[in-house]
């Protein structure tokens, strides 16, 4: 699986420079399928070429169609994007972080697409309703509208992150140290903390319990347990030598 099968769809884009900037962002994240629905701007325009920066090939191969359905007929999952809310059609949405995993899952079996509306007002309610998901980038509510290329960059970044997370082998993460290793570490840590009187008197057990919970929630690895054992040894060495002086 790769992001190659994820398509970026721009509906009625009006500014050539934005088309070029989108092509650059796509190149940054390894996508090359660009579809333009009834574009008012020309992807061959000088400004589009100037802002594409190594994305010229994406402009050269961009598909131009007359309506949204022609841009995504083979897609298994289509996500619309919009900053607008306020009606039933737009009431159910997710952030890029929440929606992109659905696109990644679809990409395992076939193409998927993210659809962006025109610069002035975005996608219509009908266009949003025809998509499987709606993405809304969390922004300040007093000014939620993003530049087209900025919106594409945010969505493709989250798409890349979701793809990397799904592609990483499950055993990449270092396993948590076993119970016995943690117990040895806690025993040594308790002795060390008692020697410097951090654990002392009636509160010693409750403090140690809180420390165990703190470290336990972190699910320490074997290397981290060894680090804490080293800390305990150093505390004991310092306490012993301090008393001699």
Adjacency order of strands within the sheet including 77-81:
63-65, 33-37, 6-11, 112-116, 77-81, 133-135
Helices (H), 62-203: 68-71, 96-107, 125-129, 148-167, 179-195
The pair of structure tokens assigned to 99 is 């929606």
Q: Look at the domain 3-169 and name its fold.
A: Alpha/beta knot (3.40.1280)
pTM comes to 0.73
Is 199 within 8 Å of 190 (Cβ atoms)?
Answer: yes
Domain locations along the chain: 3-169, 179-244
| pLDDT by 10s per residue, the chain, length 245 | 578 899 999 999 999 999 999 999 999 999 999 999 999 999 999 999 999 999 999 999 999 999 999 999 999 999 999 988 777 777 788 999 999 999 999 998 899 999 999 998 899 988 998 899 999 999 888 888 899 999 999 999 999 999 988 866 544 567 888 888 898 999 999 999 999 999 988 889 889 988 988 888 888 999 999 999 999 999 999 988 876 65
């Amino acid at each position: 699986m790769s992001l190659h099968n994820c398509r970026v769809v721009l509906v009625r884009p009006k500014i050539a420079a934005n088309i070029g900037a989108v092509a650059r962002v796509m190149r940054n994240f390894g996508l090359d399928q660009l579809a333009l629905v009834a574009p008012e701007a020309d992807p061959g325009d000088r400004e589009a070429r100037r802002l594409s920066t190594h994305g010229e090939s994406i402009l050269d191969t961009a598909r131009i169609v007359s309506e949204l359905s022609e841009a995504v007929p083979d897609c298994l999952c289509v996500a619309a994007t919009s900053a607008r809310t306020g009606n039933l059609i737009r009431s159910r949405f997710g952030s890029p972080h929440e929606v992109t995993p659905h696109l990644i899952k679809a990409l395992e079996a076939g193409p998927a697409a993210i659809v962006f509306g025109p610069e002035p007002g975005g996608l219509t309610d009908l266009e949003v309703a025809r998509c499987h998901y709606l993405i809304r980038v969390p922004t300040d509510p007093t000014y939620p509208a993003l530049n087209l290329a900025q919106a594409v960059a945010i969505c493709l970044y989250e798409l890349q992150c979701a793809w990397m997370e799904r592609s990483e082998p499950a055993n990449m993460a270092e396993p948590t140290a076993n119970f016995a290793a943690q117990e040895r570490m806690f025993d040594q840590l308790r002795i060390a903390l008692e020697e410097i009187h951090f654990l002392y008197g009636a509160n010693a057990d409750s403090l140690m319990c809180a420390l165990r919970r703190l470290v336990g929630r972190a699910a320490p690895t074997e290397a981290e347990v060894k680090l804490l054992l080293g800390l305990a040894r150093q505390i004991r060495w310092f306490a012993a030598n301090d008393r001699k002086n």
